[in-house]
Amino acid sequence: MIKKFLKRVFRKSAKPKAVGNAQVIPFGLHGVAREQISYGALKVTDGLQAAGFQAYVVGGAVRDLLLDRIPKDFDVATDATPEEVRRVFRRSRIIGRRFRLVHVMFGEEVVEVSTFRRMIEAEDAQTDEHGRLLRDNEFGDQEQDAARRDFTANALFYDPATQEIFDYHGGYADTRNHLLRVIGDPLVRYREDPVRMLRAVRLSAKLGIKLDAATAAPIATMKNLLDNVPQARLLDEVLKMLLSGHSVECIQHLHKMNLHHGLLPLLDVILEHPVGEKFIMLALRNTDERISQDKTVSPAFLFAALLWHEVLAAWNLRVQQGGRPVGAMHEAMDEVLARQKAQLAIPHRQDAVMKEIWLMQQRFEQRSGQRPYRLLEQPRFRAGFDFLLLRCASGEVDEELGLWWDEFQDASAERRAEMLQPEGAGDKKRRRRPRKKKSVNGAGGETHEPSASESAE
């Protein structure tokens, strides 16, 4: 009772105070306690401060704690140079070439420590012809470090020793009001780094907070700037969206803002096809669920799902033109991957897995002789089967096929033998020539003749 009363009085008397250009928000107001900071981040800030440096938890972690979310990781910002940080922590290493950061290791936890840096003044800045910053690697102070960050909510510094938050851009009030706002002029900041537009979409979707009007407005006209962003960075950001645990919301936001063009250009085509859309949304929902259950998610599986209906369409076209099913499938896969590579640099190492998943789909329909046994031995059977279940759930193939494989996997030897279909059933199908179809994309249940699964092993 007394405790509660004291807390109320304390909260009432807690007010931000100005220190230089910062508003310092006391614990009594924001309520983020030192105990909410990870073991490693506390070790880093305590260690650096004991060595005479400034050190704060910064960025996404402070924002997430204010929003009552569990931070993914804890980053630290300091006035110590990377070499000085290295000297304080034995188990650490310097990473990055353009801007050097230090990773400090505590068992499984890795704390990323960055030295305060400043935005380079317009006349010194190296930009490309569209205004995109090519270099921003000058050391600076805390205030300058706040100004070079993207959103006000991402520019808060938390000192675990005093439990105070340093705020230079009104990020505390914005976060409390569930608003994501660009620091400075959005036009300039998006030109410097167009990826900030995607970050705006991802963070607002993931955190369930709104984009401030001035932050959202220029995106429609500036989205073409994304064409100049190096592909590897785009892929990075797209993967962050897909693996954020909120991929469905991210895709919906992207779609709403018309931002998916040039990112996953095929998404456009796919989303116009009802079965394709259902399939992708199921795949994304499935991914979000796995992430919320702390299960692993493979990017290759996700890309295989996103591109599946493109592969089907390309395959169908070839088969209609008289191509043999298996050969047509290989050509279709190569064509779709090549087209997608021009937009998003999906690494080659994902190709093999994607192709395995796709090719397995053809083999699920063969349920006679030794074939099902051989398929079970495939190292990626599980991924292929999960993919098949998505196809069933989206209405692309008959539910019965998924149920059959579900049972066959765990059945006894006798039951498996009983389940096998008579030899020859698949052969007849294999010899059949595809009929002409109305739709180019033969993914639809109703126009599903022939299916990708009908071709031979």
We find the least distance from the C-beta atom of residue 155 to ligand ATP, in angstroms, to be 6
Least separation in angstroms between residue 187's CB and ligand ATP is 15
Stretch that binds Mg ion, among 52-60, 328-336, 339-347, 446-454 (CB under 5 A): 52-60
Q: Which stretch binds Mg ion (CB under 5 A): 60-68, 198-206, 320-328, 336-344?
A: 60-68
Binding partner at 444 among Mg ion, ligand ATP, none, C-beta below 5 to 8 Å by kind: none
The single residue among 40, 60, 218, 299 that binds ligand ATP, judged by CB under 6 A, is: 60
132 is a contact residue toward ligand ATP (CB under 6 A):
no
CA separation for the pair 275, 401 (Å, rounded)? 18
Instruction: Tell me if residue 75 is catalytic.
Output: yes
The helix/strand count (H/E) of the chain reads as 23, 13
Minimum distance between the CB of residue 77 and ligand ATP, rounded to whole angstroms?
9
24-45: b (≥16 Cβ within 10 Å) or e: bbbbebbbbebebbbebbbbbb
CA dist 200 and 213 (Å) reads 12
Catalytic-residue membership of 159: no
Residue 223 or 318: the one with the smaller Cβ distance to ligand ATP is 223
Q: Which stretch binds ligand ATP (CB under 6 A): 90-98, 194-202, 300-308, 394-402?
A: 194-202
Establish whether the linkage from the previous residue to 450 is cis, with ω within 30° of 0: yes
**Three-class SS state of 428:** helix
User: Token digits for 17?
Assistant: 């105070």
Instruction: Tell me which of 59, 299, 325, 434 binds ligand ATP, using CB under 6 A.
Output: 59
How many residues line the site for ligand ATP (CB under 6 A)? 12
Q: Is 227 a catalytic residue?
A: no
Minimum CB separation from ligand ATP for residue 150, in Å?
4
The CB-side HSE value for 122 (13 A sphere, CA atoms) comes to 4
Q: Is 60 in the site for Mg ion (CB under 5 A)?
A: yes
Q: Among 7, 11, 72, 178, which residue sits at the site for ligand ATP (rule: CB under 6 A)?
A: 72
Residue 310 interacting with ligand ATP (CB under 6 A): no
Widest CA span of the chain, in angstroms?
84
75: contact with ligand ATP by CB under 6 A: yes
From the list 300, 289, 274, 282, the residue with the least C-alpha distance to 390 is: 282
Please, which residue, 103 or 278, has the CB nearer to ligand ATP?
A: 103
Pick what 237 binds: Mg ion, ligand ATP, none; C-beta below 5 to 8 Å, kind-dependent.
Answer: none
* 8 A C-beta contact, residue 444 and residue 274: yes
- Of 135-154, binders to ligand ATP (CB under 6 A) are 149-150, 154
Nearest to 22 by CA among 188, 158, 195: 158
C-alpha 30/C-alpha 176 separation (Å) is 9
**H-helix segments, 323-436:** 325-341, 348-363, 371-376, 381-393, 399-410, 413-419, 425-431
* Residues engaged in binding ligand ATP (CB under 6 A): 59-60, 72, 75, 149-150, 154-155, 193, 195-196, 199
* Residues engaged in binding Mg ion (CB under 5 A): 60
Catalytic amino acids? 73, 75, 150
